[in-house]
Structure 1
Amino acid sequence: MEHQRIPFHKGLRGKMLLYTILPISILLITINGLTLSKLFSVLRADNEELLAMRVKNIADEVEKENLEAITTVKVMALAEENGLFGKREESKAFARQVLDEFPQFTGAYFGYEPNADQDDQQYLSSVGNRVEGLGPSGRFIPYWFRDHKDNTTIRINPLEDMETSLYYDGVRKKFLSGSEEKYMVTEPYVYEGKMIVEQTFPITKGGKFVGIAGVDVALGDLDTFFDDLKSRWDAEILAISRLGKIISATSDAGLKTRPVGETVYADIVDDVMRQDGRPVAWTDPVTGEALFLAGTRVPTGDWKIILQVPQSKVMTPIWRSLTNAILLSVIGGAVTIALLVYVANSVTRGINDAVAASMQVATGDLAVRLPERTTDDETGLLLTTVGEMAKSLAAVVGKVKEATVRLTSTATELSAASREQDRTISSFGESTSRISAAVNEITATSQELFHTVSQVTDAANGTAGLADEGRVGIERMGTAMGQLVEATRSVSSKLGVIRDKAERIDVVVTTISKVSEQTNMLSVNAAIEAEKAGVHGTGFLVVSREIRRMADQTAVATLDIERMVQEMRAAVSAGVMEMDKFTVTVREGVDEIERISHQLEQIISQVHDVSGRIESVNEGMSAQSRGATDIRDAMHQLTDGAKQSAASLAEVQKAGRHVQAAVESLRGTVARFKVST
C-alpha cells in the first residue's frame, strides 16, 4: 500500500500551527501595539510633568527672593508708621542696618514727601555741611548702596528721579488709586554697572501717603542661580519682567533689558504662558532646533519664567524605552511561536509514526519497528497500542501457520473470517488514529478559546469599572459647575454694589465742585474788598489769593476724581455684562454635562449587559472543554474494546484447530504476511 501524503494545511500539524500561531500572533501584535502606545503616552506625560515641575521650582525660588525683599520693605514701612517716622537719624541708621544684614540687597532707602515730617528746613539748618541723603530743600531721601567696584564699601546719596520713576511715583499712584497691592517691583535697569530691580512699599500716616521704604536687588545672583540650573539640567532659562523686558537669559547675556517683542521669542511667549507649566513644542527660527518651552509666573512682580529644553533630550529616552519594549516583545513572540512549533512537532511525530506502522501492517508486513515511547500523552499511548497490535497480529499469524497442517474442513470459512477480521482491525486502527487526533485538536482549541474568553471577561469587567469611575467624575464636574454658577452670581451682585457706590461718589464730587466754585467766587470778592482797603487790606489780599489758588486746585482734583469715577463705572458695567455672559455659558456647560452623564449611564448599562453575555459564553466554553475530555475517555474505552476483539480472534483461532481440510489453501493465504524471526 502506497503512503498517502497529506497537504500541510490539511494535516494535523498544519492545523495546529495555523489555528494557534495565527490568533496568538494577532493577539500579541494588538496587545503590544496598545501597550507601546500607552507607554509612549505615559513616558511623554512624565517628562512633560518633570519640565512643568522644574519651571515651577524655579519660579518658587525667584518668588521666595522677591517675597523676602517685599517683606523687608514692608517691615521698614511699618517701623516708620509705628514711631520711627520723623526720626531722621534713626531712620537713616535703620536703612544702613538693613543693607548690612541682607548681603543680597544692593541698596536700602527711605524717601519722604516734601516736608512730610514738617522738619525739612530745620533739619537742613541743624546738619550744616552734612547733607548726605537730603534734597536741596532738606527733603529726607537717604539712599544707602554698595559700591559697584568694592561690594564691602557702602555709600550714601540722595534718591534721584523720584517724581517720574516707578519706585516712588508708581507706589504713590498705586496708593492713591486704592489698589490692594501696595508694593512695587520696578523694571530691571543698569545702575552703576549692576543690573538691579527696585522693590518699594508706601509709608502712610493717618491714611495719607507720606513716603516710601525700599531696597534694590542686584540680578547677578539670579544669573548665577540660572547658570547653575542650566549646567545641571542642560536647559536654557529666560526671565521676563511685567512689562515684557528680559531680566535674565542663560542662552545670550546680551538679551538683558531688551523687550521680548524684539527677540525670537516674540510670538511664542504668550502661548507658553497660557499653558501654565505644560510644555509647548517650538522650533527656533534662527537655529532651526526643535525645542520644548514651559513657562509659569512669579506672583510677586508678575515676572515670567520660561524653561527651554531640546526636544531630542526629552524624546530620546522615550524612544529608547519603546525600542527596548519592542525588542522584548519580539523575543517573547518568537519564543512563544518556537514553543508552539515544538509542541506541534512533538504531537504529530508520534501520530505520523503510528500512521506509517498502520499502513505497513495493512500491506501485510508485520515486522514493524516502532520507536520507543518517549511521552505519556495520547500520542505515546497510540504508538504503543499500534506496536502491541502489530505484535499480536504477528503472533496470531505464526500460530495460524503452525496450525495449517490441521486446518482441513473449515479452511474456506476460516480464511474468509480471517480476512474480514483483518480488514476490520486495520480499519478500526485507522479510525481510532483519526478520531484520537481530532479529539486532541478539539481539546487544545477548546482550552485556548476558554482562556481567550476569560481574558475578554476580565477586560469587560475592567471597562465597566472605568465607566463607573467616569460617571462619578461627571457627577463631580456637574456639582463644580453648579458652584461656579453661584459664584458668578455673587460676583455680579458685588459688581452692582460697586457701581452704586461709584454713583454716590459722583454725587459727592458734584457737591465738592459746587463748593469749589463758591469758594472761588468768595476769594474774588475778598480780593476786591482788599483792594478797596488799600494798604490795610494787603494781608487779606494774600489770603484771598491763596484761597482762590486752593479752590482752583480743588476744582482740578475734582475733575480728575470725576473722570476716574466715570471710568470705574464704565469698567464695572462692562464687568457685569461679561459676568452675565459667563453665567449663561456656565449654565449651558451644566446642561451639556447632564446630557453627557445620561449618555454615560446608557454606555455603563450596555457594558454590564455585554459582561453578562461574555460570562455565559465563558460557561459554554468550559462545558465544551469538559465534553472534549469525555470524548477522549471514550476513546480509551474503544481501545479496550479493540483488545477484547483481539482476544475473541484468539478464540476463533482456537476453533480453527479442528479445521484440517484446507491446510494448503490456508498456507497460501498466510504466506503474504511477513513476520520477523
Structure 2
Amino acid sequence: MGVKQKFLVLSGIMGVLMAVVSLVGYFMASSDLQQSVDNELRTVVAKEVSDMDGWLVAKQLSVAHTANVMTAYNGDKASMQTNAALQSAATEADVMGVTLGMEDKYFASSTGGNLTGQKDPTQRPWYQQAKKDDKVEFTEAYVDSITNKLIISAIAPVKANGQFAGAVCNDISLDALEEQAKNIEYHGEGQGIIMEKNGNILATAGLGKPMQNFAEVDGFGEHFKEMQGKESGYFTTNSDGKEVVFAYAKVPSTEWLIGIAVPEDFVFASLKHMRWVFGLLTFVGFALMMFVCLYFAQKITRPILGLTEHAVQLADGNLRMSELPVESADEIGRLTQAFNTMNKNIRQLIQKMSAAAEQVAASSEELTASAQQSAEAANSVAVSVGDVAQGVSDQAGSVDNAKNVVEEVVNHIDDVAKGMEHVNARTNETNETAAAGSQLMQDAMDKMALIERASQESAAIVSQLGKNSEQIGKIVETISAIAEQTNLLALNAAIEAARAGEQGRGFTVVAEEVRKLAAESQEAAEDIKRHITSIQSDTNQAVGSMESSTEQIKLGTDAIREVGDQFGRIIAKVHDIKEEVEKMNMRVHKVSSGASSIVGTMEEIDDVSRKTAAHTQTISAATEEQSASTEEIASASQSLANMATELQDATAKFKF
C-alpha cells in the first residue's frame, strides 16, 4: 500500500470518526430538542388548562354566590322569591340563565320568572345531582332543548337551617370553548380539543365532533385510557395517514382533558433541519478532510516518488545520478538531503572498495599458498606425532601387560615362598620327629640289651633249674611258655623295629605285653610254688626254649640296632634336606624381593609410558589442531580471495 493510499485510508478513518462524532452530537442535540419540544407542548396545553380552570372556577364561584345569597335568607320565601338575585347572576358572560328550585317545588328562572306549578324542579337531573352530592359542581354537557346548543350547568345546594332546601343552576354556554379549542395552537399549527373526563368532546377544532366520545376517534381512541390515568402527557399516533403528536393535560377543577394534535413533521421540523445541518456539515467536513489529505499526500509523495526512483537506480548500481532538489525544510527535505549525501558517500565508498578488493585479492592468493604449504607440513608432523603417540600407547600397553605378568610371577613367587616356609616348617617337624624316633630306637636297643641280659640270666637260671628239673618241672614248663611268649614278643618287637612305624609305638606295646607276661610269670611262680612238682618234666624243654629265645633276642637286638643305624642316616638326610630347604627359602625370599622391585620399576615405567603417551597425544592433538587451523587459514584465505573476487564483481556493477 502506497503512502497516498495510506493517506486515503487515514482520511476515511478520520471521516468515520467525524461521522461518529456528528451522530453522537446529533443524537444528543435531538434528545435535547425533543425534550424542549415536549416541554413547549406541555406549556401550551398547561396554559390552556390554566385558562379553562380559571373560567370554570369563576362559574363555580358565581353559582356558589347565588346559592349563598339564597341560603342567607334561611328559608324566607318572600325574600327568596324575588327575581333580582337570579337576574343579577344571569348577567355574567356565557350564563344563559339562572334557575332556582326548592324542596317545596318552588321553581323560578331569570328568563321565565316564577314557574311554580308549571314544572317540578325536584325532578330535574341537575336538582337531583345537587341534592345528592350537596356541593358546588358541574353537570355533564348536554344539548339545550330551547337553544339547541351544547351547554353545561353549574349547580350549588341551597340550605335552610343547615338542611338542604333547594338548588341553584346556572346554564353556561360552551360557545367560548369552541373558540378556545380553535385558539389552541403550537406556533400557529395544531388542532385543539376539550373533552369531559368521560371522553365526551365539548369543543374541537377538527378532531371528532362535539359530544362524540374521544375513544371513538380514529388514531386517538386507543390512547384514551392512558390519558385518563395521567395528569399530562403526549404520544405519537397516525391520523389520516399522517404522523401526529398529541399533547394533553387534565383540568384540576373538573378533570376535563384539553389536548392539541400537531403534525409530527411540523413539531420536529427543527430536528429535521438539524439533521440536515449535521449531515451537511459531516459531508462537507469529510470532503474537506479528503481534499486536505490528498493535497498533503501529493505534497509528501512527490519527493518520496523521486527518492524511490533514485533508490531503484541506486539498487541497480547507478551512482551517476544527479542530486535530488530539496523542496522543503521538513522531514522529507532532510530525508532528500540525507539521500543525496548517502549517494555521494556510497559512490566514494564503492571506489575505495574496488581498489581495496584488488589488493585483498592479491594478498589473499599469497596467503592461501603459504597457508596450504603450512597445512601440508603440519599434516606431515601430525601424522608422525600420531605414529609416535600410537607407538607410545602400544608401549604403554606392553608395559601394562609385562607389569601384569610380573605381578603374576611375584604372586607365584610369594606362593612358592609361603610353600617353602611350609616345607621348612614340615622339615623341622620331620627332623624333630626323626630325632625322637632315633631316641626311641636307642631306648629300644637299651631295653633289648636288658632283655638279652635278662634272657641270658634266665637261661642260666633255667640251666640251673634244669639241673633241678626234677624239682621245678612244672615251673620250667611255665617259664618255657613265658619264654615262648617272650620270644614271640621279641619277634614282634623286631618286626616293629624294622618297620619303625609311628615312632616306636610298638615298643610300648611290647613292654606292656612283657609286663603282663611278668605278671603271669609271677602268678606262675606262685603256682610253681604250689605246684613245684608239676614243672619238673618241662625243665629240659625250658632250657632249650631259653636258648632259642636268647638267639632270637640277639637277632632282634641286631635288627633294632640296624634300624637305629637307618634312623641315624635318615636324621642326617633330613638335616641335609632342612639346610637345603632353608637355603632355597632364602633364595625364594630374595627372588620375591627382587620381583617386588621389578613390579615397582614396571609401575614407574608404566607411569612414565602413560605420561609420555598422554603428552604425545597432546602434541598430536595440538599438531592436528595446528594443521586444522592452518587448513582453516588456507580455507579462510581462499574464501577471502573468493570474497575479494566477488567484491570486485559487485563493485564492477556500480557505475561511478
Structure of larger gyration radius? 2
With the shorter chain as reference, the TM-score category is 0.3 to 0.5
Instruction: State the TM-score, normalizing by the size of structure 1.
Output: 0.46
